[in-house]
Amino acid sequence: MKSSILAVLGGASTALAAVRGFNYAAQEQTYDTFVSQFKTAASLSGASDFTSARLYTMIQDGTTDTPIDAIQAAIDTNTTLLLGLWASEDQASFDNELTALKSAISTYGSSFADLVVGISVGSEDLYRISPTGIAADSGAGQSPDTLVDYIGQVRSAISGTSLSSSPVGHVDTWNVYVNSSNSEVISNCDFLGLDEYPYYQTTDVNTIGNSSFLFFQAYEKVAAVAGGKPIWVTESGWPVSGPTSNDAVPSTADAETYWQGVACALENRGINFWWYILADSGSSPSFGVSSNGTPLYDLACNSTAGYTSTTASSSSASATGTASKNSSSATGSSSASATASNVTASGAAGVGSQAATSGASASGSATATGSAAAGASTASASTGGDTTATATGTETTATGSSGASAATFTGAASKAEGSMAGLAIGALVAALVL
């Protein structure tokens, strides 16, 4: 029970001193461009203390194994770092990441180590080898066994160094974390990085009004399998321009609404997060929160800003869903029954609906009980069979029409060192009967 509550809150270690920042790609970046961006992020009007940078690789663009210039830029601007080692590659290429990491440690010493928040081994590698990722042609991924091996290699590389106490984790989407075939990756992590974009949840009602609900649903599903480990939000955002994505419409107004609902909730609840992205003018969709150093919308958060769940109760629900995007599909069926008391919840969980999720090639059943802070319970099994879940919780949230709604949701932003392509991932969530 205690571990579940800590996971939902993002971990006790981060609650009092949460880290906030942005994601930064490596391509065509130099020391000067990193410094400029880090200074811009730190001084954004309305934003509070966005002084951290999430990186995707340890290697400077255009080199084989030279440490990325972002490190010296971070030292010179007092920017904290969530380091990344690109892991969707073979051992020889990963060795270059390790070489750059070890070189950075020896070159920069404590001035570097003191800024390191954590080390992420890989980014969405498991998503890209999932059935949905493969069907969407999302690029090379990595197996869970190899990721566990790479995590171990990173731990060996930092052992006895100034980074020896740095937490080591992995970044991926919620649907692969709840797939039991990836449980060893979770077991070998100190933290879980979550990428989640309601904008891309095209198989769900992904209006801006439902976006915060979808985000925290995904967060809670990861919390249910995290074993009390901190969950850091490593990517999220809403585009200011670009194509409509099902019910999601890019606009500065909706991007501001999403920021106020999700970013402000994460800030007020003390959860580490790195937003996507500081600026990406010319991209479509464009998720940038600023242009030429000026915010595109209000980034200020007051003490009451952020998503708060609504009140609902239910006795039973069932749902079947299919998700597809870019010729990708994930299908499954589930049934779930739940009871919930009428309570209004506010907190990192934000939601408490019961859900059953399908992954790949197995069937199973599970029973779980959730409580106030943890919210709902989640049972997952791989697709190819049906998953049945029974849960009891004390907090619940639902959206729907005519009293009930079958919903699917996803968090997806596939990147190769920062080049984003969000892809919908299908799942099943029980809809509450009002």
Q: What's residue 299's pLDDT?
A: 97
Name the nearest CA neighbour of 54 among 14, 89, 86.
Answer: 86
Q: What's residue 302's pLDDT?
A: 84
Q: What is the crossing angle of helices 31-42 and 70-77, to 10°?
A: 40
How many Cβ atoms sit within 10 Å of the Cβ of residue 174? 31
Active site residue 184: no
| Site of tokens 């600026």 | 279
Summarize pLDDT for 204-252 with one digit per residue, the tens.
Answer: 999 999 999 999 999 999 999 999 999 999 999 999 999 999 999 999 9
- Residue with more model confidence, 162 or 13: 162
Q: What's residue 132's pLDDT?
A: 79
pTM over 0.85: no
| Backbone φ and ψ of 407, nearest 5° | -130, 145
Q: What angle do CA 199, 204, 210 make, to 5 degrees?
A: 65
- Residue with more model confidence, 284 or 342: 284
Give the range among 15-29, 52-66, 188-202 with minimum mean pLDDT.
Answer: 15-29
> Mean pLDDT across the chain, nearest whole number?
76
Partner residues linked to 54 by β-bridges: 23, 82
Active-site residue identified among 124, 196, 395, 417: 124
**Coil, strand, or helix at residue 332?**
strand
Summarize pLDDT for 335-380 with one digit per residue, the tens.
Answer: 333 323 232 333 333 333 323 333 333 333 333 333 333 333 333 3
| Site of tokens 């920021």 | 259
- Residue with more model confidence, 256 or 303: 256
- Name all domains of the chain by residue range, CATH numbers in brackets: 2-295 (3.20.20.80), 316-421 (no CATH)
Report CA dihedral (189, 193, 198, 201) to the nearest 10 degrees: -40
Please compute the mean of the pLDDT values over residues 25-53 and round it to a whole number.
97
Please compute the mean of the pLDDT values over residues 175-199 and round it to a whole number.
97
- Residue with more model confidence, 324 or 42: 42
Active-site residue identified among 89, 97, 220, 235: 235
Q: Is the pLDDT of residue 425 over 60?
A: no
**In sequence order, which residues have a C-beta less than 8 Å from that of residue 119 and are 6 or more positions away?**
82, 83, 84, 85, 101, 154, 158, 163, 166, 167, 168, 169
Q: What's residue 433's pLDDT?
A: 30
- In angstroms, the Cα distances linking 235 to 198, 362, 396 are 11, 30, 25
- Residue 17's pLDDT band (boundaries 50, 70, 90)? low
Active site residue 235: yes
- Residue with more model confidence, 417 or 76: 76
- For the chain, helix, strand, coil in percent to 5 are 30, 25, 45
Q: What angle do CA 262, 259, 10 make, to 5 degrees?
A: 30
- Residue with more model confidence, 105 or 409: 105
Q: Is the pLDDT of residue 95 over 60?
A: yes
Q: How many CA atoms lie within 13 A of 391 on its CB side?
A: 34
> How many whole angstroms separate alpha carbon 224 and alpha carbon 377?
6
